[in-house]
Amino acid sequence: MKTEIDKFVGNWVNDEGCRLVIEKGPRQETIVSFVSGKTGFPIARPYYDDLPSTNMVAELSDCESSLEVELWCQDKGFTLHLTYEQSYDLDNEQRNSLVPTLSRYECDDFLDQYFLLFGHLGHYIRSGRIIHRTKKGDTCLDR
């Protein structure tokens, strides 16, 4: 049976070559990994003890219109919101897309310096490019 989360699952890429890998975990949780378009590897998150941008927990928003990815500890408020747009009007080919936004709590303005780690906020489209996990569990691209 398909669920609302299924439309988000897969490999996605934006114009910068940044990639999102969205998977269902073993307990049906949603796991997201972000891969830099510049390096082909996950980024280190300096605000979070340099943990790589892999295996980040995500859940559907209350109205199930977007996927909310925790970029820091849960409930810290630094979140990547991914809205699924079918036949996205701002895509030249009107493909199904994920439209990203970033949010943080107002008091956490120090996080502004880290917004650029996630590239520009252009939309993502599905990609057939293979993304795999290394023996260490890191996510990387086949080049």
d(CA 126, CA 59): 19
Domain ranges of the chain: 4-141
d(CA 86, CA 83): 10
What's the burial of 78, exposed, middle or buried (CB within 10 Å: 0-12/13-18/19+)? buried
Instruction: Say which residue the tokens 């439209």 belong to.
Output: 99
d(CA 85, CA 7): 10
pLDDT for 41: 96
d(CA 118, CA 22): 15
pLDDT band at 93 (very low <50, low <70, confident <90, very high): confident
What digits encode the pLDDT tens for the residues 96-138?
Answer: 899 999 999 999 999 999 998 988 888 999 997 555 555 555 5
pLDDT band at 65 (very low <50, low <70, confident <90, very high): confident
pLDDT for 92: 77
- Does residue 23 register a pLDDT over 50? yes
CB burial of 90-127 (b: ≥16 within 10 Å; e: otherwise) equals: ebeeeebbbbbebebeeeeeebeebeebbbeeebbbeb
d(CA 65, CA 82): 9
